[in-house]
Structure 1
Amino acid sequence: MREDLYYPHPFVQDILWATLDKFVEPILMRWPGKKLREKALRTAMEHIHYEDDSTRYICIGPVNKVLNMLCCWVEDPNSEAFKLHLLRIHDYLWLAEDGMKMQGYNGSQLWDTAFTVQAIISTNLIKEFGPTLKKGHMFIKKSQAALLLSKLSSDIVDEPLDAKRFYDAVNVILSLQNSDGSFATYELTRSYSWLELINPAETFGDIVIDYPYVECTSSAIDALVAFKILYPGHRQEEVQRCIDKAAAFIEKIQEPDGSWYGSWGVCFTYGTWFGVRGLVAAGRNFSNCLSIRKACNFLLSKQLASGGWGESYLSCQNKVYTNLEGNRSHVVNTGWAMLALIDTDQKAKENVLNHAEKKVYVNLNIQINLENDHGIEE
């Protein structure tokens, strides 16, 4: 359908695929090309089976989950691999009000649990939520991400993680930093953006290589700073160098208007929150960092008369900040913007509050009608 054609493939792909189909494939079906083709197929299947085994047949996402399953069926419809694939399809399916859908991931359980733990710890209600934190600690411990929880006493969370597991996690983070200081999602950015010319996915853009993101880079800084405080003796200089390079990258990719483009949420309010958070974690503040001052000015310039913020998903698509229809406030965008402003130092807060006297910065009467659709936020 035309509305699903988010990324129309370029004409060079028509030439490439036609050439492969009409000329290259016939050559590879005959000896000696057939030998090369068979070896290539065996190698491809080895990679597929390795990923299937490593992810217990969930794969890294729904697209290659389906493709891997199809390849296993072509290889052998009665194989154990194909049967195991069938069992994990339900991890991606969910029934919405308008029919069956396939979600982008099999779930966000660890993400949700980590955010919940952060929220509880930030409120100083640790004792009141002791049983909840204990369960969260057990789940996160099994999922290998627990720096915040490691600060809590064993009375709350039971036995802490072995320090070696934190060392291993930090070693992985350090290994994933790109030469420019950035972090991508799950591997180094190993090639060039011009490879998007052969991107065959008409619904996704910028997927052929793993691009760096402000959210990933900021989160890496957060984790390393927390680790450095708890375990200052492990690769101290390398950790600090990694933090400094990552912070410099965040400053470098800031937009001229002071914002950062967010890829995992809508959109500039989300990205700017992460940009500010990463810089603050690295030691910057409103007084000594121009990027943070520009970010505050950007957020304040987008504040609505109601006191809140409301950003449309069209910001992601058009890469230009766009308010929600009717200039409505949205509680999520408002939360992200406020978190970014609060993360800065006292001088920034004073500037914010001075501005708020004119713009009604904190309007506790933002209307939140839970019965209406508030728009897409992730």
Structure 2
Amino acid sequence: MWRLKVGDGGNDPYIYSMNNFVGRQIWEFDPNAGTPEERVEVERLRQNFINKRHKENSFLSADLLWRLQFLREKKFKQSIPQEKVEDGEEISYEKASNAMRRGAYFLAAIQASDGHWPSETSGPLFYMCPMLICIYVMGIMDTILSPEHKKEMLRYIYNHQNEDGGWGLHVGGHSNMFCTTFNYISLRLLGEGPEVEQLFRSRNWIRHRGGVTSIPSWGKTWLSILNVFDWSGSNPMPPEYWMLPTWLPIHPLNMMCYTRITYMPMSYLYGKRFQAPLTSFILQLRDELHTQPYCQINWKKARHMCAMEDLYFPHPFVQDLLWDTLYLLTEPLLTRWPFNKLIRQKALNETMRHIHYEDENSRYITIGCVEKVRNNPSGDYKSMFRYMSKGSWTFSDCDHGWQLSDCTAENLKCCLLLSLLPPEIVGKKMEPERFYDAVNVILNLQSKNGGIPAWEPASSYYWMEVYEKYLPST
């Protein structure tokens, strides 16, 4: 039976924390855990989710498994009766107070021992596949994942398959090529055979739309790494951009931080043209996911292909023109001697320097994970295109390290309210300097137009947005 542990590093020497793992959640499987009644209840909750998944559009788990664990550990019994208000009835102060007390009593019962409230990071359905591709390529699948881990990963993927056989960008989304392909590959990497009924339906969904050549660029990158796609079928992602002057509009500095951090490793892998060794399993995937023989695919044409379900915004003409210029003129030069040594290798080294910096400053959590940040990023953080973070709050815990204006504002407001309450109830008040630091980081995140973005001040140019808006699309 799976049990949720909080504030625990798992005795792993490679995992470290700046705040004793406060807010960290890990699931551990204990074959001896739980009473027979608890096991029956867990299976009932699982089956109930499956039954309601499509009938009631109930996409989220509601965290019922860990709530069941916490409530039983604390021997919780709701002693405050539920208040009911009839239609047209005026809500009294007493009923409102009782309802609030009832809710607060329940919230206190599901609070973790380190003070936070656990929650599933539910939604996106494209996180698992890249991890599985990486550990498959490294040959450590069975070392990293136990049979119980694989079992639960399979359960999760199957639970969120749509009725048409595909998977959406998130648990409630319509099927698209990106996530349908990713989850199909995940199932195959986890040991499922192509004859399984759910895989048969998802494979039909993919092939009826022309196969995976129309997967978006992020998918093309990961399929190229797995050797199910050819790098020549991807539009260029040159690592040389990291060496450009920062005043150029196309420098990664001017990208949104999420885009920049995603582009960083993608540009490195593109520059290296890394691919997994060809195996019989890879050859099977090629046959399953493509609608024509692999050797006959027009990779040059595949670069601009994108499934209708995935095309949220058509490519502007100038974007395709830039890609074609890089593909036809720049890349052939940078991949040949002496430019592959003089320029490409230098760009790869610079890109890897940025990757290491981001990993080390986020304790290897990176921006994707979502307490207080007491210091700015280490070293010359401005040269790494990072922004001041001292005084801010992140999404979840101190180790993450990326400042957010809204999280900072919300937590600042909470601390100001707590400062008005007696210390014997809420504990020691926060030092005034910390309030000043929080206000300072919010003000410094403000952009020139007066708006306050989530992560960092806008660094791109307004004319680029206007220019893109009125360009003809392909």
Q: TM-score range by the shorter chain?
A: 0.3 to 0.5
TM-score by length of 1: 0.39
Whichever structure has more helix as a proportion of its residues is 1
Q: TM-score, normalised by structure 2?
A: 0.32
